Chain A
Amino acid sequence: MNTILKFAAIAVFIFWNTIGLNAQTDWGISDEQKAETLKIPFDQANQEAGEAIFNTQCKMCHNEMSVVPTNTRQLPLSPNLGSQEIQKKNSDGEFFYKITLGHAATGMPPFDRLSEDERWKLVAYIRTFYPEYQPPASISAAPAAEKFVGTIKGLTLDFDTSNGNIKVQLQAVDEMGNPANAKNVKVNIYVKRAFGDFLINTKKTDGQSVAVEQFPLDLPADTNGYVTVIATVDGTTISASKEVKFGEKTHYKNPLDEPSLWGPRDNAPLWLKLTYILVVLGVWLTIGWAVFQIFRIYNLRER
């Protein structure tokens, strides 16, 4: 038995490695294709459009991207495309054609149903996780967004329960350490749920370090009418969470409170209990009466 298991383990190991090897080598992309470069401007509009596509089409497997030196996610998980190693090794064209053609051995599907433009937008978004990336000279470089350069110290959450507004206020300092307004900083606003935080929206702060978001008021709150809202500064560990009376109060009804055929004995419908008890009582009283008659017969034994 043990030997069989060992053999099986070795077989699986070899099989796995073969897949791994294939994964690295055989995508069937020609050199001309590899030489292609980004065909659309590397600007914010394209990057954000790419992010939207990524969230619906790719995130399911590739998960969140993050800037890391090497990918640590092993098959069957799909790699973290924020890995600098992967970013360095792949040209724009390689990314584009890998998306286009897919790779059956690793389970990467072909995304040729996305338009070419959409695929290039994805490449643009993926490249935002590569600080060293130089967009090709042939396309007009995007006017760099006004980026906040200071340090964010923290954030506070405020609510307006009358209209469901969530106000995120950042506290930031500039390079000199003086308080400053953090503009154009991405803030993710979540609501806490049982198994994960539900992203309400991602907002950018205005000139006053403030991002305002509307809470989806049809989202259920707990039985007391409260939800926990969480805000994080994108790409950092800075976050804050707070309970607030938002959303629709859950009117929880315990299914076990009602009589039912599927419930425990005490939940049996009254008609069932009554019928059972009455019928059984009736029949057994009659049987009891018959037994009593036997006693009467017995008592008449003397002539």
Chain B
Amino acid sequence: MSEIRNQDEKAVFEKIKEDLLTPVKTKYWGYNALIVSLLTLIAAALYAYYFQLRDGLGVTAMTDYVSWGIYIASFVFFVAVALVGMLISAVVGLVGQKWITPVGRIAEMIALAFVMMAGIIIVIDMGRPDRLLNVFLHFRFQSPIFWDVTVVTTYVAISTLLLLLPMLPDLGIMRNHLKGEVPQWKWMLYNILSLGWVGTPKQYQILHRTLRVLLILIIPVAMSIHTVTSWLSALTLRAGWDSTIFGPYYVSGAFVAGSGAVLVAMYFIRRGYKLQDYITDYHFDKMGKLMVLVSLVYLYFNLNEFLVPGYKMKTHDAIHLHTLFNGEYSLMFWLTQTFGLILPIVLGLFKKMRKPFPLMLIGASLVIGAWYKRVIIIVPTLIHAHLPIQNVPKDFTEYNPTGMEVTITIGVIATAVLIVAILAKLFPVVPIWETAHEKGVDIEKDL
């Protein structure tokens, strides 16, 4: 009896292993094309950045009034998307949801890639990147930027651990089974990263305990990273930023952007790697429901953020709100609110819409909407200063990003996608050991 079961188990495990490791071993034409196009975008961005370094930030459309533009908006966007790692692995995982198994690692990869790019684009936005060290030499406890540097660094560290640690058993499997099947350097990499994982009960025990602690730890850290990011705006005296709910407003918005990004990544990874058996419609359905839930929370904070000042219409709040509701930014505002918030909630309520393809489209709409929403949070507030903008050229009162600026921003986004792509090719996106474990295979024997 046990013999047969063992044989069954072995077959099941072999199938899982084969299915999930195929993407690691196989060369895809589409994947290479993606990498090449991303590299092209990055090269263009580097070229543009060379000009920015040489000529100064004057190559952008930023001026003394709109002194933060799409760089800072993208920074907020990156941090927002990066928060999804915490949402899926920690919040949803810790409440005991089992369906996150094939999604968690994708979320962590996105989190790591995007939080790294958040750090990069801040440096790109600096007027004097050569003085980056000053931030550490002359830091001030009182500055939110110092807090931001601290939490971004911490989040990178914890995200790396949260990506690496749950991957140890898989890396052990890859070390044991992929020798000769992949190039030697790759095998060496797996060998090093597996950290001598052999899957003893003691190792599992340590792994589980460490993971649990880190998963709890990442919740406050992730909350602080985005709260501090919101404080970069909210701690100033400007109408549109001077808000007490900016922290939760940002965090809830981040979950929306992040679930959108995960949905898009899930769809393409599933299609590209033919993982329909592992990332199933059920998982999409669950992700779709999660997306609706976080969008509803975000809707609630939007209501507070706009209705409360909108009811009172204080002088400068009124100017700001008019710009958004029926002024120069109204088109962008209503498009982002529709496609980044209302539509996903409405569509996500229908079961028919919670299928992979529609969800991918909704996810894309969320991500694009999220980026534009960050522009709307950053730019219109700066256009309306407390005092009149006078004795300066006309273009100081508006902001239309230049080609250079857009190229660089696209390059950084491309880098984030590239990192996700490389991670998702180098490592199995769906955890082998957890999948096997869920299917009742005792994989310890294999190691």
Contacts and interface: CB of A to CB of B under 8 A. Distances in A.
Instruction: Tell me if chain B binds chain A.
Output: yes
Interface of A: 261-265, 268, 272-273, 276, 280, 283-284, 286-287, 289-291, 293-294, 296-303
B165 interface: yes
Contacts of B157: 287
A300 B150 CA distance: 33
Interface string B136-174: 001111100001001000100110010001001000000
B200 A300 contact: yes
A286 B206 contact: no
B214 A301 contact: no
Of A261, A263, A265, A300, which is in contact with the most chain B CB atoms at under 10 Å from its CB?
A: A300
A268 B142 contact: yes
A274 to B, nearest CB: 10
B189 to A, nearest CB: 16
B168 A289 contact: no
Given A287-B158, A303-B200, A273 B141 contact: yes
Contacts of B209: 293
Given A289-B213, A297-B206, A300-B200, A272 B140 contact: no
Interface residues of B, number: 28
Contact of B217 (A265, A283, A291, A300): A283
A280 B165 CA distance: 22
Contact of B141 (A268, A297, A299, A301): A268
Interface in B200-218: 200, 202-203, 206-207, 209-210, 213-214, 217
B213 A286 contact: yes
A256 to B, nearest CB: 14
Contacts of B140: 264-265, 268
Contacts of B272: none
A280 B150 contact: yes
A294 B217 CA distance: 17
Contacts of A284: 154
Contacts of B165: 290, 294
B374 to A, nearest CB: 26
From DSSP, what is the main secondary structure of chain A's interface residues?
helix
A251 B207 CA distance: 64
B146 to A, nearest CB: 8
Contacts of B217: 283, 286-287
B407 to A, nearest CB: 32
Contact of A290 (B138, B141, B198, B210): B210
A290 B161 contact: yes
A102 B54 CA distance: 56
Contact of B142 (A272, A296, A301, A302): A272
Contacts of B147: 276
B221 A294 contact: no
B141 A287 contact: no
Nearest to A267: B142
B389 interface: no
A129 B138 CA distance: 62
Contacts of B198: 300-303
B196 interface: yes
B6 to A, nearest CB: 20
B278 interface: no
The 4 closest A-B CB pairs, nearest first, are A301-B196, A268-B141, A293-B210, A265-B140
